[in-house]
Structure 1
Amino acid sequence: MPRCAATAIDLVIAVAVILVPLVGLDRMLTGAGVADGDARAIWRTTAALWVAAFLLLYSPLSVSRWGATPGKRALRLEVVRFTTGERIGYGPAVARHLTNLVVTGIPALCVANVSSINLGTDRRGIHDRASGSAVIHRR
């Protein structure tokens, strides 16, 4: 269950990193007296760009650069190339992350993914298989 705990840590970080700046922007727009319609448009555009940037950078950049997200690092887990044990690059890390987002959003695939991670002999999820990666425990 360390992978689940690592995901929980990363979700707490994600909520903080995404929401805190957006709440601050909302307060700034309100305080600056920006018209409601304009403020909503600015906020929505900024929110969409901020969330997209976070999704494309946080996990893929962390995994390709340091071998793990902060949550995985805290629990001594590392994402590596399944065949060689080396760190994966940014492209495979993006593929892994986007596949994971899709799989998590479809209940049947989510159940299959969790089952594969917990019951499979190689402990690899659908997103790991799609990107040629594996999660290992560093001692």
Structure 2
Amino acid sequence: MDNREVIGSWLSGPRAAAEDMGVEFGYRGERLGLPEEGPGSIAPVGRRLVAVFIDWILCVLIAYGLIAHRDYNASNPWALALFAALSLVSLALVGSTPGKRLLRLRVVRLDGGRLLPLGVLIRTVLLLLVVPAVIWDRDTRGLHDKAAGAVQIRI
């Protein structure tokens, strides 16, 4: 093995090195029995991030304009509380927040059914902590989704 191969395997990461050794990972969601593309497939990370950003901006605007009377510093805690309430209510009732709905995403249980209220609560609390939401498995499911037994899919 020459130096270029060693450096190339290091730069491409552990997944590429494992694939070079013959390990097959499959597509995202294959282990969960989800389709590779189209409705019902795992939602792309970029769309999920944009959906959370839309929900957050919506909550900040409501907190700033209606609740905190245009005091930006006072609106921050209200925005977080509104974000939690928005997630709890909208996921429990329709399985999708406004941002997710705009981007055609939905949060469901692994068997495809609606997420139960306890699952919504667990997922929302862990999402507010941020760290569990940014640690993913190879299917790009965050720890908050894994703890709730949920998956975000395209609709």
Instruction: Report the more deviating stretch, 84-93 or 70-79.
Output: 84-93
1:21: which partner in 2?
66
CA-based RMSD of the aligned residues comes to 2.6
Of 107, 117, 135, which residue of structure 2 is paired with 1:90?
A: 117
SS in 2 for 1:62: helix
- The structure 2 residue matched to 1:71, chosen from 99, 102, 106, is 99
Which residue of the partner structure matches residue 12 of structure 2?
none
Please state which structure has a larger fraction of its residues in helix.
1
Q: Deviations over 1:88-121 (max 9, x none)?
A: 122211110101112x1xxxx46xx4351xxx44
Q: Are 1:61 and 2:123 matched, yes or no?
A: no
1:56–1:94 CA contact under 8 A, matched in 2: no
Under a length normalisation based on structure 2, what TM-score does the superposition of the two structures give? 0.60
Q: Which residue identity lines up with residue 63 of structure 2 in the other structure?
A: I
Give unmatched runs, 5+ long, in structure 2. Answer: 1-45
1:4 maps to which of 46, 49, 63: 49
Q: Which has the larger radius of gyration?
A: 2
The residue type equivalent to 2:97 in the other structure is T
Q: Give unmatched runs, 5+ long, in structure 1.
A: 27-43
| Matched positions, count | 108
Residue identity over aligned pairs, in percent, reads 33
TM-score of the aligned structures, taking structure 1 as reference length: 0.66
